[in-house]
Amino acid sequence: MSLDGKVAIVTGSGRGLGLAYAQELARQGAAVVVNDVDAPTAQAAAAAIEERGGRAVAVAAAVGSAETARELVRVAVETFGGLDILVTNAGVLRDGVLWKTSDEAFDTVVDVHLRGTFTCVREAATHMRGAGVAGRIICIGSPTGQRGNFGQTNYAAAKAGIVGMVRTWAIELKKAGITANAVIPVAATAMTATVPYFAAAVEADAAGEPMPAFYRHDLGFGTADDVSGLIAYLASDAAATVTGQAIGVGGDRIQLWSHPEPIVTAYHEGGWSTAALEEQFPTLIGASLQSVGEHFPPLPDDLQRPRP
Ligand SMILES: NC(=O)c1ccc[n+]([C@@H]2O[C@H](COP(=O)([O-])OP(=O)(O)OC[C@H]3O[C@@H](n4cnc5c(N)ncnc54)[C@H](O)[C@@H]3O)[C@@H](O)[C@H]2O)c1
């Protein structure tokens, strides 16, 4: 597999998962537009790729606005002659339980993740369609968007919205041969470093040691590099027929997520009146109610860490 001659944009790629994606795409031969709101990290990331013989350029800008999206595509086209791959990865957290979530915290997260994905994909897809490029759109979701999570109203809204948009784009871009997929990553980064449950894994990673098998295997939690192979694969010609999918990856694990499907279908002639529901709901629907949230197994004793 090679991405020789391809041009990629990776948003939020100054550090963390985005950096791992940019490095792997470059390693496979793609020229990469490295974007981050933090200018020094964006420049350092692009320089590191070039030092290893890759091609990269840094664009320091906040993803969210149409202006930034236009700038990213402009730089890709003017610097490297086109655009084949877009990875929308930039993200922030403003966690808080619903009744403590401010308008600002909601808007910030939705602006970067949801609006940033929308504006960048709109710009990239417009260019790809115009240039007749069978491009690759790879958007980053989260287990929180798939299942919900305590304290993450804004993030759940944005990440679920991203997967909803990906399904729609897979339909709209099919004729142009452009694929759109969502990757649901889990990895040790600044974003997960403070979660006590993952502390022992983050600690091992920071010390340059392998992460305990419990994390890598049972939880599908590993390093940022563990996620980057899937990004490069989906960006390649080998994945030309893979579109509209949500694929989870982390540690030693890969998972294909289902899309929501009706799991109980029933009919009541004349419609479902309150009385009809009162009679039939408990057995018809009540027996199949769905769980929400992620369910983590208890941590083995040797991986327990005191709460910070
Ligand atoms: N780490 C995980 O386990 C995990 C799990 C699920 C989803 N994700 C998603 O993966 C993506 C990357 O997460 P990460 O863990 O590497 O986080 P991170 O905080 O380490 O990196 C995010 C990067 O995005 C940049 N950024 C923030 N706002 C930006 C903006 N407006 N424009 C451009 N860049 C911006 C930050 O400066 C940072 O470099 C995010 O979308 C996150 O929601 C991560």
For 100-112, how does the pLDDT look when each residue is reduced to its tens digit (9 = 90+)?
A: 999 999 999 999 9
* Structure tokens belonging to residue 79: 């610097």
Mean local confidence (pLDDT), 127-136: 98
Q: In the predicted model, is pLDDT for residue 213 greater than 90?
A: yes
Q: What is the pTM of this model?
A: 0.97
Mean pLDDT, the chain, integer? 96
Q: Which of 159, 215, 228, 236 is catalytic?
A: 159
Alpha helices per DSSP H over 215-273: 225-235
* Structure tokens belonging to residue 7: 């041009």
User: ∠ CA(216), CA(185), CA(41), 5° rounding?
Assistant: 105
All residues at 6 or more sequence positions from 103 whose CB lies less than 8 Å from its CB, including other chains: none
Give me the numbers of helices (H) and strands (E) for the chain, helices first please: 11, 8
Q: In the predicted model, is pLDDT for residue 302 greater than 90?
A: no
Gap between the Cα atoms of 35 and 14, Å rounded: 7
Query: According to the model, what pLDDT value does residue 291 have?
Result: 96
Ligand 1 site, CB within 6 A:
11-12, 14-18, 35-38, 41, 62-64, 89-92, 112, 116, 140, 142, 185-187, 189-192
Mean local confidence (pLDDT), 51-74: 98
142 noted as active-site residue: yes
Q: In the predicted model, is pLDDT for residue 71 greater than 70?
A: yes
* Structure tokens belonging to residue 188: 């040790």
Neighbours of 15 (CB within 10 A): 17
Distances 215 to 79, 206, 225 between C-alpha atoms, Å: 41, 15, 15
Q: In the predicted model, is pLDDT for residue 241 greater than 90?
A: yes
159 noted as active-site residue: yes
Mean local confidence (pLDDT), 142-153: 97
141, 87 contact by CB (below 8 A): no
Mean local confidence (pLDDT), 182-206: 89
